[in-house]
Structure 1
């Protein structure tokens, strides 16, 4: 019998810009308290966890998921896996957890993403001969063909030029993202999903500000021209954070004697990972979402709330327009433009946010989150309250 994956708990740290409140913490030090909070919320014993899966994009090796699991006090026998699909990593980890549970290979999996931009290692290419020097690099290649591996900001500017999405429209979108985040902060200063770290007690996402269109339009242009270019204000800032969910089989949830933090655990309906042209990463999630909707005979209006990644304003705008999503259902509490982009954790943050948004909906309401990643990857995941 197929096991139905449920999300028994969903937690995250606040998001802090690179060099901010979490500047001294390694990625696993951010993730371990999130794991502990999931177990406390759900009443699940540490020994009942079958697997830990975390996405991470900036570390040069090792297995930070295993470090986080051990730091959180999970038994040595619990395996842990770190995966890297760049920005999709956190959401892909949750999708992988749902596959394990659905297949019956596991009954209880902790899955999410972690990233410390502040503490990420300095990366260098090893010299080929003793006469050469190591060469530092900021990012690896995302495609083996240079002409198909553009700088992501340049690619975003090219997309804006192609679709004629003006710099002013992008600025307006960024202003709205910050405004939503600030409004949420005012209404609920301490979001229910946040884990407060004793060593760095940040009680809210730190970056959101009272951004105006005039200020956004004065921001330096990073790529493109004055008409449709991408600016500092319309690109999500580098950030540190961790986020995760506790994915369990329906039977496992029924066996728990203690109550959970979620009054009606959301069901993971399905998820899709897709590949597309590496030079046109921004539009790959459109294909992922269309594939997911077609598989379940769904329409955009069937989803009450959506969490779309805002690595670039133009990326989110192009995705929303192509799918025909209603504006009032997208990123109700703001997105990455007003929060920050902790690469490997960003997809998991979308999932945690979606779980929280669904708590404000009626039973049976559905939500969807989606993200793109360098190299032409896109992932979409659908939940139901």
Structure 2
């Protein structure tokens, strides 16, 4: 079997809905990323795979390819697995390389909630089962796994502090591809008294005895992220440095009422198949859609916060649905280069409908 490796990764700055990126459509957000990642190997790209959830429909990836000025021979494919779309795109590209279907892929996701033509969300589940909004589902996770508000707020504050520190130390600058005036995440441009916000916030989704608030939940955002996936021998021949070597992946389903806990099932199955324990994983990124989800996943899997979302995440910088999974992988791409003695890293996300996706990588350096 051939080895798929990630040799480059970049994301845009993230803007809140109707914020700094409000005039940019998905293909306009994605195009600079594609142009950057394909530089010098434009005619070698086998395909571009992008996740997108609330965009205008059609093939956003193909439109992005054309906007970026890549060769007409590069096709482009768009997929929607809700919030798992960006990570699923990378998963698919890695498996394509493993199978010998191609050698060069750009994969990730993009989202523009600001320009979305849809006034309401798609259905996540059937009437027979029930179709709660994601915020209500976050409350269901908190109730089922006994995650009180204090624990949620504590994690939200930790995430915020980590994100601010990463921002102040220039760590996020490594991830971001500047284009135009868009060089920094919008939410981090504002000073926020997070402790006060957490105390003042009232339950948003279930008023009576609710624990999920606007302060311990992510917002709605715009942004894009993509990585360059290659066959390892080819990368070495071209003098490109593999950073993450794809090892395995898992997609799992749970009850649609509990999408936040879906990463647990996917991670457990992935570790079992690879004869690994959670302690064998050196760094873990799980999307921070809601604090209740992260606390529950950490509790059920026995994950130490010391190696989980070490530079914060969506609770602070935002959650551009289709891009968020690829942002997790990009965060691992850069963090493994800053650390020594890191062997295995893992990215996972839970999404609407009760789907969990997990990707396992070896550090290739």
TMscore range, shorter length: over 0.9
Count residues with an aligned counterpart.
361
Structure 2 gap segments, 5+ residues each: none
Q: Distance in 2 between matches of 1:228 and 1:270?
A: 38
Which residue in the other structure is 2:67 paired with?
71
Which residue in the other structure is 1:281 paired with?
259
Which residue in the other structure is 1:340 paired with?
318
Which residue in the other structure is 1:89 paired with?
85
Q: How far 1:320 sits from its partner (Å)?
A: 1.0
Which residue in the other structure is 1:143 paired with?
125
Q: Secondary structure at the residue paired with 1:269?
A: strand
Which residue in the other structure is 2:236 paired with?
254
| RMSD (Å) for aligned C-alpha atoms | 1.6
Q: Secondary structure at the residue paired with 1:367?
A: strand
Q: Deviations over 1:194-249 (max 9, x none)?
A: 11111xx2322221454433321212321235755211111101001100111111
Structure 1 gap segments, 5+ residues each: 124-136
Structure 2 counterparts to residues 80-229 of structure 1, below 5 A: 80-121=76-117, 123=118, 137-188=119-170, 191-198=173-180, 201-208=181-188, 209-225=191-207, 228-229=210-211
- Normalising by structure 2, we get a TM-score of 0.95
Q: Distance in 2 between matches of 1:46 and 1:117?
A: 29
Q: Deviations over 1:18-70 (max 9, x none)?
A: 11111110011111111122134xxx410100011000000242111011111
Q: Distance in 2 between matches of 1:189 and 1:347?
A: 19
Q: How far 1:302 sits from its partner (Å)?
A: 1.1
Q: Secondary structure at the residue paired with 2:328?
A: helix
- Rg (Cα) greater in structure: 1
Question: Structure 1 stretches (4+) deviating beyond 6 angstroms?
Answer: none
From 324, 338, 356, give the equivalent of 1:360: 338
8 Å contact 2:344–2:362 — kept in the other structure?
yes
Q: How far 1:253 sits from its partner (Å)?
A: 0.8
